[in-house]
């Protein structure tokens, strides 16, 4: 974001004249609606996006040329540090938590609230969609392997689009589909190969981009 845009935010906060066109593009460019993506200038201060391999530096900080990101593509503003608490009655798995843990309302405005806490790490309940994952996988394992807290299995009613290139099958019938941040992993019923592609929420389409090989764990490490 340019310096004068940063000054625009500061001036507005101080009660100065409001640039309505600028503020209309905070979340979505020109207040456009539809889709679970973010395209406004609020994306600029984020230096990284969340990928299956962890945080990745952004390659572009433009926001007026069609750049857009899924809502869950940004890293969490919460830091977590696990530790073990040894007590006379046994050992408990705990964690320190700090960051933006809530919001508060002040008049017509919402403000982030910084806070910290100590919580106990209780065994996770089975996810209701664990049965959609390959054998041996759970959502807890998937999210731990990818570092993406919103990674999830998808139902198979998405259209899978294959690039019209040599070496690619004419079509792919999936046995599994998994969303990790802005990516979607698809396993082919024909040969058990995993592919990765872009997810289009508006049209419920998966556009395949690359062949990753056999095995979900190895496929997740490739991206």
Residue 104 has pLDDT above 50, yes or no: yes
User: For 167-210, what is each residue's pLDDT tens digit?
Assistant: 888 899 999 999 998 889 999 999 999 999 998 888 999 999 99
User: For 45-89, what is each residue's pLDDT tens digit?
Assistant: 888 887 766 778 888 777 776 677 877 788 778 888 999 999 999
Q: Is the pTM of this model over 0.75?
A: no
User: Which residues does residue 79 pair with via DSSP β-bridges, in sequence order?
Assistant: 98
E strand intervals along 88-150 = 90-106, 109-120
User: For 111-151, what is each residue's pLDDT tens digit?
Assistant: 889 999 999 988 878 899 999 999 999 999 998 888 788 89
Burial class (CB in 10 A: 0-12, 13-18, 19+), 219: buried
For β-strands 193-200 and 174-180, DSSP reports them as unpaired
């Amino acid at each position: 974001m340019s310096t004068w845009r940063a000054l625009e935010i500061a001036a507005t906060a101080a009660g100065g004249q409001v640039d309505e066109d600028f503020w209309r593009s905070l979340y979505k460019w020109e207040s456009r609606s539809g889709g679970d993506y973010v395209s406004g200038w609020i994306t600029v201060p984020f230096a990284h996006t969340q990928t299956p391999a962890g945080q990745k530096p952004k390659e572009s900080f433009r926001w007026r040329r069609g750049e857009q990101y899924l809502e869950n593509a940004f890293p969490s503003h919460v830091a977590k540090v696990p530790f073990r608490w040894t007590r006379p009655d046994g050992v408990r798995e705990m964690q320190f938590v700090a960051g933006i843990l809530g919001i508060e309302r002040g008049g017509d405005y919402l403000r982030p609230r910084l806070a910290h806490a100590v919580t106990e790490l209780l065994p996770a309940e089975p996810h209701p969609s664990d049965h959609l994952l390959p054998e041996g996988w759970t959502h807890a394992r998937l999210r731990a392997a990818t570092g993406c807290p919103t990674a999830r299995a998808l139902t198979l009613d998405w259209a899978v689009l294959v690039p019209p290139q040599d070496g690619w099958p004419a079509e792919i019938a999936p046995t599994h589909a998994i969303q990790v941040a802005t990516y979607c992993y698809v396993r082919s019923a024909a040969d058990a190969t995993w592919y990765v592609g872009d997810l289009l929420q508006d049209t419920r389409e998966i556009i395949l981009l690359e062949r990753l090989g056999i095995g979900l764990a190895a496929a997740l490490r490739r991206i």
